[in-house]
Amino acid sequence: MNAVVLTGAGFSHNWGGRLAREINTAVAMRLQDDNHLADLLHRNPNFEEALIELQNEAATSARPGTAERLQKLETAIADAFTTMNSNLAAASFNFCNDLKYSLPEFLVLFDAIFTLNQDLLLEKHYLYPPQVISLAGTRRWLRGYLPGVDEIPNPAQSGLYDPLLTQWRPQSTPTATPIDPRSQPYFKLHGSVNWTDPTGGRLLVMGGNKPTTMRRHPILTPDEPPEERSREIRPASCSATARKTVRAY
């Protein structure tokens, strides 16, 4: 029987992650000098709704400045996430010094971790360095990892590995990627702030039409695997016997 965990914004909030309304404020503050975008955010207090309105306008209208305003809004959103990730990185991941009650000891119990979040909390405190997982509990995973995406080489990055500075892109055929049975998979269902799509844009699922956005990216909508490939992409969540724990969504 598979045991999986699904997390949402409330999970990261325990370490200072921002909820949607707090990101709304952070984005609005960054754009208060742009009258058009300030008005857009006033009409759509939820930044995701403002984003989808501007995305639709950019896709259907040749109005001058629309593409530039969309880029400016996306940059403000990414900047808000960058600040949040820096705060998450500085937080202590565990709430007590007793090892048996540490977060890694709890998380290694699951066959897979799923999240709707796009921040880098677990990348910073759990996935790296690999010893955090490999030394936790009795499960003895070798590591945790992100299936279906590849790290983008960055020659400028030197010194200690920092997941906050790392960029990722989907593999050309992510659904064909087998899951390593010795490694714990971490599935980011709505993309991530440090993922890029094939055009070089950010692979983030936001706005009011998430299913349509997700269908454009195979990494976010993997096909149902056949019976004999139950350890490939979408293993645990597809099983009729899967047990799912929802934490602070």
pLDDT digits (tens, 9 = 90+) for 188-220: 988 888 888 777 777 767 665 666 666 667 677
- How far apart are the C-alpha atoms of 64 and 16, rounded to whole Å? 39
Tokens representing 235 are 């293993």
Mean pLDDT of 138-157: 83
Residue with tokens 């976010």: 220
Confidence at residue 114, expressed as pLDDT on a 0 to 100 scale: 92
The confidence band for 230, taking pLDDT boundaries of 50, 70 and 90, is: very low
The phi-psi region of residue 207 (left if phi > 0; otherwise alpha if psi is between -120 and 50; otherwise beta) is left
Say if residue 121's pLDDT is above 90: yes
pTM (2 d.p.): 0.79
Helix (H) or strand (E) holding 84: helix 66-90
Q: Compute and round to an integer the Cα radius of gyration of the chain.
A: 19
Mean pLDDT is lowest, of 5-14, 95-104, 131-140, 144-153, for 131-140
- How far apart are the C-alpha atoms of 40 and 43, rounded to whole Å? 5
The confidence band for 238, taking pLDDT boundaries of 50, 70 and 90, is: very low
For residue 217, give the nearest of 185, 193, 195, 194 by alpha carbon.
Answer: 195
- How far apart are the C-alpha atoms of 148 and 144, rounded to whole Å? 13
29: CB partners within 8 A, 6+ apart? none
